[in-house]
Structure 1
Amino acid sequence: MAYSQIRLKILPSVRCLFDKPVQVKLEGLIPHKPVELRSKLIDDRGVIFKASALYKADETGQVDVCRAPSLGGSYTGVEPMGLFWAMAPETPHSKFLKKNVLSPTLVEIEALSGDTGHLLASETNERRYMKEGMNRILLQEGRIKGVLFIPPGNGPFPGIVDLYTLGGGLTEPRASLLANKGYVVLALAYYGFQDLPKNPTKWDLEYFEEAVTYLRGRPEVKGPGIGILSISQSGSLALAMSSFLSGISATVCVNACIANILIPLHYKDIVIPPLSPVMENIKITESGLLDIRNALPDTSLEKNRVSLFPIERASCQFLFAVSEDDHNWKSALFAKQAAATLRNHGKECIKVATYPKAGHFLEVPYMPFCPSGFHAAVGNVVMFGGEAKANSEAQLDLWERVQEFFKSHLGPVSESRLNKL
């Protein structure tokens, strides 16, 4: 059979938003013949991510990854989006990086003969971050640095501060994809972006207070309160904001620590010192990676309470997402302690979503899994834990939970606004 008759389809369209699933389908194959599907993308650092899976054409000469099982490769079984979530970096210990969301992420899909290795067909999936009409504003308002996303439509919309700054500076994917759902989202930078210090010596909570005040004052934002979305180290800052600042209604902490870490936190005349890591608790794995899971000292001990945030002062609702195989720190234990603290003060304002085999980084759906990587605070490569499939399933579930949580506590996006989106 001529290769020209073989068609690789990405349905419903080759263009979609990053958090949307697609259907990969092959037609025109020789029935029952093996075929290999490969996926590839290049991130903003130039790191190549790849996955592959072996399939067998059915009696009609088709492979539909939504129905057919992978027989080997990066994953096995029926995994409609396996070619996306199973992608791994060619450069070890690299985390997928997408900073600026004005351009899409391009995922190349290739089909090769399982017998000869010849290329049979190829197509590119253009995975975008912003819907048509989204307004992206590079922000420099007073001291505030970041990027503001405003959905199309008349508004007003619920407002959310997204705290996602890693060692490489501000990243925008999560903020933009959440804004697509009908929220005004401020991706707030707090170090390593524009002229913000790359290695700050303290956390200045009044900077974050200025950001909350600014967002609440935008004419497109409806009140009375806003939401906060955080992950990892920024979860501590989210808890500090929720404890001390007004105008916050809902806070999401993904694999967060309940104490201050790294550097002192200042707010007016209050100083909260950081926990000091216990270096002898850091282990080296058989593969030579550092396991820092037990590096932070016991936060239940009296001598460490000075570093805890007074979350009992908070008036917002909390959603803690925790991965039980998080090796960055004991996020499940921290969530348990947070819940106990709030309940001991008569507050039932916390929900905890637990993911047994997931690792530290729970991202937006279909983002490549990051089991290990360079940790800026440690200055070395560490393990983050988790299994790729379980992590992918956790990301899907959490993304829906986050939207439902904000909808419940910030107010729903009206149907008329959704239609405009």
Structure 2
Amino acid sequence: LASTALLLPSARCLFDQPVQVKVEGLRSRQKGVVFSSSATYRTDGSGKIDLLRDPSLSGSYFGVEPMGLLWSMKAETLHKRFQKSCALNPHVVKFSVHEEDREDRMLAEVTNERPLTGNGVSRVPVKGRNFQGVLFTPPEGPFPAVLDLCTLMSEKRASLLASRGFMVLTVPVYTDHPDNIKQMHLDHFKEAVDFLQQQPKVGSKGVGIMARSKGGDIALSLAAFVSGVKAVVSINGCNAVVSVPLYYQNHQIISPLGSDITKLITTESGASIIKYGLGDPLAEENKYSLVPTEQAKGHFLFVASEDDLNWDSKAYMDQMAERLKHHGKENFETLCYPGAGHLLEPPYGPYCPSSFHRIVHHVVLWGGEARAHAEAEVHLWSKIQEFFRTHLSCDAAQTKAKS
């Protein structure tokens, strides 16, 4: 009987969808190695392996982890991050099965193609007067509208969210080398918000914004100063404006929170912990760096990873929640993930413990433990979609009025 490797429900699926890996036709109680990351499994009495049921006995992870072969993948060299900046190219994963101690003998092989864009979703580069990005639109409509503020240009999160029924415009916070940017203008991002609201297929009365890290303080500022922002997801963001001053309508509205390069902690691997490098947002000298989130009319979902080694994200989240409570506001939710690191992404990508940080010019530790981080990504991705659907209700009549 020939050995076969199966991917259910299909060998082709969206990047953020789980697959079931099964192997059949092996000898009874035979051990095999699934290659990519690697894990050792023992077949059952029928010569089958099912990753939904069977535990990994050794390798990149242990125990029953149906998607462990994906999130535990590692690069051959240290400090490399899995990047999918353009949504046009699918993530292709090859699963192969080998007999233990016989790496040269392949028993079965199957390829999993994981596109970043769902069927019928259009991808259109757009350029405004002061912003540039990529617009993803699902077929038909109307749709809730979301602005994805990525720190540096990336299409993965936007294209996958569009594949779940949202119109998404992804815009980078840094359009030039970060060292060249001495100030940021909220007007430029407002232009992107306005552009989204004018799209004929948008059915929501306002827009949502999702952002991580530096994009978070821009998202909070848009909610505080710009009308039409109804829902903000801030992932491991700061409650103060970081690095450069923020301007709006030709006036500086928020001063930058300073940093101290001497507070970097270098580890044996060569990667640095930069968590303690930012100033204290609540210190008296930094009070003009805080974003006045109490001015916002929309809703917030604050997300923090407890093991974030880039920023003290949990403290910032708690401070944001406390500020809103102090002003009598209840328009926010908080989500905390123990064991997760800074780089929370859509699920089933390889976990990245460290890589080169293009803003601070250091290899840094991002924090997190691989399994807990992967679980957080699955939960958060579902929560983001639920939050936007709740707070960006669609009105078909409004869509018709635009067309």
Query: What is the TM-score when the length of structure 2 is the normalising length?
Result: 0.95
How far off its partner does 1:412 sit? 6.1
Q: How many residues align?
A: 393
Partner of 2:9: 12
Partner of 2:265: 283
Percent identical residues = 45
Q: Is the 8 A contact 1:182 1:413 kept in 2?
A: no
Q: Is the 8 A contact 1:145 1:190 kept in 2?
A: no
Partner of 2:119: 132
| Correspondence 1:392 to 2:374 | yes
Partner of 2:174: 191
- 1:205-244 equivalences in 2 (<5 Å): 205-244=186-225
Could you list the per-position Cα deviations for residues 184-215 of structure 1 after superposition, in whole angstroms to 9, with x for gaps in the alignment? 100113434xxx56632211111001111111
Q: Is the 8 A contact 1:151 1:179 kept in 2?
A: yes
- State the one-letter code of the partner of 1:239: L
Q: Is the 8 A contact 2:151 2:212 kept in 1?
A: no
| Correspondence 1:142 to 2:124 | no
Gaps of 5+ in 2: 397-403
Partner of 1:31: 28
With 77-86 and 283-292 compared, the bigger mean Cα shift is at 283-292
- State the one-letter code of the partner of 2:117: M
Could you list the per-position Cα deviations for residues 155-207 of structure 1 after superposition, in whole angstroms to 9, with x for gaps in the alignment? 221100001133xxx11111011111111100113434xxx566322111110
Identify the match of residue 351 of structure 1 among 333, 357, 361.
333
How far off its partner does 1:288 sit? 3.2
Report the secondary structure of 1:17's partner residue. coil
Partner of 1:77: 63
Could you list the per-position Cα deviations for residues 344-367 of structure 1 after superposition, in whole angstroms to 9, with x for gaps in the alignment? 111011111000100001100101
Could you list the per-position Cα deviations for residues 299-320 of structure 1 after superposition, in whole angstroms to 9, with x for gaps in the alignment? 1111111111111111110001
| Correspondence 1:314 to 2:296 | yes
Report the secondary structure of 1:89's partner residue. coil
Query: What is the TM-score when the length of structure 1 is the normalising length?
Result: 0.91
Could you list the per-position Cα deviations for residues 37-95 of structure 1 after superposition, in whole angstroms to 9, with x for gaps in the alignment? 012xxxxxxxxxxx110001111000111111100000000100000111111121111
Partner of 1:46: none
Partner of 1:101: 87
With 267-276 and 355-364 compared, the bigger mean Cα shift is at 267-276
Separation in structure 1 between the aligned mates of residue 151 and residue 111 of structure 2, nearest angstrom: 29
Could you list the per-position Cα deviations for residues 229-258 of structure 1 after superposition, in whole angstroms to 9, with x for gaps in the alignment? 101111111111111111000000000011
Partner of 1:45: none
CA distance change for structure 1 residues 9 and 412 in 2, over 3 Å: closer, same or farther? farther
- State the one-letter code of the partner of 2:245: P
Report the secondary structure of 1:339's partner residue. helix
Report the secondary structure of 1:358's partner residue. coil
CA distance change for structure 1 residues 390 and 367 in 2, over 3 Å: closer, same or farther? same
- State the one-letter code of the partner of 1:7: T
Q: Is the 8 A contact 2:144 2:167 kept in 1?
A: yes
With 207-216 and 269-278 compared, the bigger mean Cα shift is at 269-278
CA distance change for structure 1 residues 413 and 328 in 2, over 3 Å: closer, same or farther? farther
Report the secondary structure of 2:194's partner residue. helix
Report the secondary structure of 1:25's partner residue. strand
Gaps of 5+ in 1: 40-50, 415-421
Separation in structure 2 between the aligned mates of residue 281 and residue 350 of structure 1, nearest angstrom: 32
Partner of 1:293: 275
Identify the match of residue 119 of structure 1 among 87, 91, 106.
106
Separation in structure 1 between the aligned mates of residue 254 and residue 159 of structure 2, nearest angstrom: 32
